[in-house]
Amino acid sequence: MRTLQSGALALFLFCSNLVSAEEHNPTDEVAVVLTRTDSIPKEVGKATDPYFEGYIQALLDMHYAEYRLVVIVKNKHVWLANLPNNKMLSESIISFVKDVPGVEEVSVLNGVPPADEEMREKYVERPKISGIWFPQMTELFQPIIADPRAATYSLGWRSGDKVCGPKCVGVSLGDDFPIYRWLDLFWGGDLQIGIEAAIWSVFNMDPHPNKAKGATAELVNTDFYGGIPITYASGPWSFRFRIYHISGHLGDEYMVDHPTVERLNPSIEGVDFFTSYQASQAIRVYVGPGVYVHSDPTFKWKPLYIEYGTEARFLGSKFYHQKLYGTCFIALLWRNLEQLDYNFDGTYRIGYEFSKLQGIGRKFRGYAGYHHGYSLEGQFAKMRTSYFEFNMNYGF
């Protein structure tokens, strides 16, 4: 409990320091509702319509080039055409434009204003690209924050784990590498194929007994993961079909310290299909059934499982000097596996995240969490455990 209190206090002080750095001038440098006006010259709002139109068009082409967006400005009224059929992304673009100084109103077009029909061929009906190689702005299916096996970069402290040890450090290295994104397919959404890869390692920082010569920490287990996600997003809906492999490997120090432990080969190939619904800018819910199509004979798994959960973001704010956007979040994930008699396995996290763009893009997160159910570490994955965690990670 003392570790939990210390970790929570450290997280609170970290966020407080960021806020306090903004408060030395209380008249105009406190955290406020998310806007982008601080990074855009105020003089833009006084410019002529042609200059204003070109400036906004350049901003959108810089941040959202693949969508070939069209900007039309009349008396500081902005019309946007060719918006993607992806609720989270389109709302982020509209919010981006609304925050430009001088914008009176933003409207979304399927064409152009009636008085400007002659502009249709030049602007709105210009050829659109069918796809883009190696897109980098965001993921179509946003990774699940509470997933202990998300492909991300993370470092954290784990307290009270009954399987790996009461004092552990968890490390992960992982990322999603998007290969190609097809634009405006099927119901007007986008389709993407990519590659995911990750490793997760856990170290026991106070092993008993410690027989490994010179070892100050005991590598308990490392899991290796590789997957091919195919994702699709349209409106508030996003989907992920994934084919993947994951395998666990005991650490050398653990095997030295536990010579009677039999090394197994927990290796799995599986598929799953997740559906996510962005109910609002703040609330997301998701569910995903899956099947283990093959598992190693030394560590067999029954095939069926399901995962589901929700995420909520609140108290969004900005930090002027750092040019960052921040928000609190709560993330909940549950799993039920056939092999484990469909018993509940849950991960619960609360924390704060920072990003350069509102809503989308890569983020840095700090959070406290609690896991209750079963271990996720290699051949220990059928053993019950619970633990508190304090993590930092970077990823989508």
How far does Cα 202 stand from its chain's mean position? 22
What integer is the mean pLDDT of 195-213? 85
CB atoms within 10 A of CB 200: 25
* pLDDT for res 94: 83
Task: Using pLDDT thresholds of 50, 70 and 90, give the confidence band for residue 43.
Answer: low
* pLDDT for res 128: 62
What integer is the mean pLDDT of 249-273? 91
* pLDDT for res 214: 64
Q: Which residue has the higher pLDDT, 140 or 39?
A: 140
Instruction: List pLDDT tens digits, range 276-290.
Output: 999 988 899 999 999
| Nearest in space to 202 (alpha carbons), one of 263, 157, 142 | 157
If DSSP codes are grouped into helix, strand and coil, which group holds residue 25? Answer: coil
What integer is the mean pLDDT of 139-163? 93
Q: Which residue has the higher pLDDT, 342 or 96?
A: 342
How many Cα atoms sit within 13 Å of 86 on the Cβ side? Answer: 26
Calpha distance 10→90 (Å, rounded): 36
pLDDT at 32 over 50: no
Q: Strands of 77-81's sheet, edge to edge? A: 70-74, 77-81, 105-109
* pLDDT for res 69: 82
* pLDDT for res 272: 97
* pLDDT for res 20: 45
pTM of the model: 0.73
Q: Which residue has the higher pLDDT, 148 or 111?
A: 148
* pLDDT for res 19: 43
Which of 320-324, 341-345, 358-362 is least confident?
320-324
* pLDDT for res 27: 38
Burial of 375 (0-12, 13-18, 19+ CB in 10 A): buried
* pLDDT for res 67: 75
| Angle made by CA atoms 162, 337, 260, in degrees to the nearest 5 | 40
pLDDT at 3 over 50: no
Q: Which residue has the higher pLDDT, 305 or 47?
A: 305
* pLDDT for res 57: 85
| Angle made by CA atoms 192, 327, 108, in degrees to the nearest 5 | 55
What integer is the mean pLDDT of 373-383? 94
Looking at every residue in the chain, the average pLDDT score rounds to 82
Structural domains of the chain sorted by starting position, each given as residue range(s) with its CATH number in brackets: 35-129 (3.30.70.2210), 133-395 (2.40.230.10)
What integer is the mean pLDDT of 147-165? 94
* pLDDT for res 24: 42
**384: amino acid identity, one letter:** R
* pLDDT for res 283: 94
pLDDT at 127 over 80: no
* pLDDT for res 138: 77
Instruction: List pLDDT tens digits, range 57-112.
Output: 888 877 777 777 888 888 888 888 878 877 778 887 887 787 777 788 888 876 55
What integer is the mean pLDDT of 131-149? 87
Q: What is the 3-state secondary structure (H, E, C) of 30-51?
A: CCCCCCCHHHCCHHHHHCCHHH
pLDDT at 9 over 50: no
* pLDDT for res 55: 82
CA dihedral of residues 376, 380, 386, 389 (deg, nearest 10): -50
Task: Using pLDDT thresholds of 50, 70 and 90, give the confidence band for residue 26.
Answer: very low
The share of the chain scoring above pLDDT 90, in percent, equals: 48
What integer is the mean pLDDT of 149-157? 95
What integer is the mean pLDDT of 225-241? 95
Task: Using pLDDT thresholds of 50, 70 and 90, give the confidence band for residue 147.
Answer: very high
Q: What is the CA radius of gyration of the chain?
A: 24
